[in-house]
Amino acid sequence: CCILHIGNIEIGIEIINKLKLKLKDNFCLVVNINENLIDNQKISILLREIEQFGNYMITKTKNYGNDISPFLMIYNYLLKNYEFEY
């Protein structure tokens, strides 16, 4: 599973495209998007790229100036709701 926080749509699209080349088809992708990007004209392109993964989850959070908070929230959610083998 890969957890990715996106604060810039152009960079997010670039990272997603690189991940598609490197990861297997059944890979799980969790993407958090800054809430202020939802109204961006390119958001549909980003969402379309994410939806190409078979297993994905998209969340959105407010931008408080750091990337660790959304990561910890998603990680906590995954641990509580899904069983992962290490």
pLDDT single digits (tens) 42-70: 899 999 999 988 888 898 888 777 667 78
Q: What percent of the chain has pLDDT over 70?
A: 92
Q: 35 with 62: CB under 8 angstroms?
A: yes
Provide the pLDDT for residue 86. 54
Dig out the tokens for 29 from the structure: 């992708």
| pTM of the full structure | 0.77
**Residues near 8 by beta carbon (within 8 Å), at least 6 away in sequence:** 37
Beta pairing partners, 30: 3, 57
Residue 22 has pLDDT above 80, yes or no: yes
| Angstrom distance (rounded) from CA 15 to CA 82 | 25
